[in-house]
Amino acid sequence: MQNQNIDSMKKCFLHECVERPWGRYASTFAMKEFKTKVFVVKPKHRLSLQSHNHRKEMWSIVSGKGVCTVDEKQFAVAEDSFIVIPQGAKHRIENSSAFDDLIISEVQVGTILTEDDIIRYDDDYGRNQ
């Protein structure tokens, strides 16, 4: 029985790297209602202002510095910062460095953890929902 659990856990580990105009991300672990990712945001780039109807997110800044927006609040973030993004909150993160990548570890919890649950309000790269 224990070997079966280990085998099913191995199937949850992912390492798909997805390129985006702002940088890239890799999904590192996924289960039905839980997913982890690592984001690398290029210098002077930012993610779209977005929200999610079916998940909340937690971000941990691994390295770099930036500016985070959650609803109407903006605040500076740097290594060891931790941000909680409630379900439905408008949010984005921007790399404020001219030279260094901003690296973020993300945990998603919810019922839909796909790109289908992104509502975009503003995007520097002309992407719509």
Across the range 83-104, mean pLDDT stands at: 97
Residue 52 lies in domain: 11-122
Is there a domain that residue 80 lies in? Answer: yes
Closest CA to 93 of 36, 47, 43: 47
The helix/strand/coil state of 3 is helix
pLDDT at 3 over 70: no
How much is the pLDDT for 83? 97
pLDDT at 105 over 60: yes
Is there a domain that residue 34 lies in? Answer: yes
pLDDT at 11 over 70: no
Is there a domain that residue 23 lies in? Answer: yes
Query: What CATH number should be reported for the domain holding residue 112?
Result: 2.60.120.10
Closest CA to 91 of 14, 39, 26: 39
Is there a domain that residue 113 lies in? Answer: yes
Residue entry with tokens 């224990």: 2
pLDDT at 2 over 50: no
What tens digit of pLDDT does each residue of 34-92 get? 999 999 999 999 999 999 999 999 999 999 999 999 999 999 999 999 999 999 999 99
Is there a domain that residue 109 lies in? Answer: yes
Higher pLDDT, 39 or 14: 39
Is there a domain that residue 54 lies in? Answer: yes
How much is the pLDDT for 101? 96
Q: Report the DSSP beta bridge partners of residue 23.
A: 20, 41
Is there a domain that residue 26 lies in? Answer: yes
How much is the pLDDT for 16? 76
Number of independent structural domains in the chain = 1
Is there a domain that residue 6 lies in? Answer: no
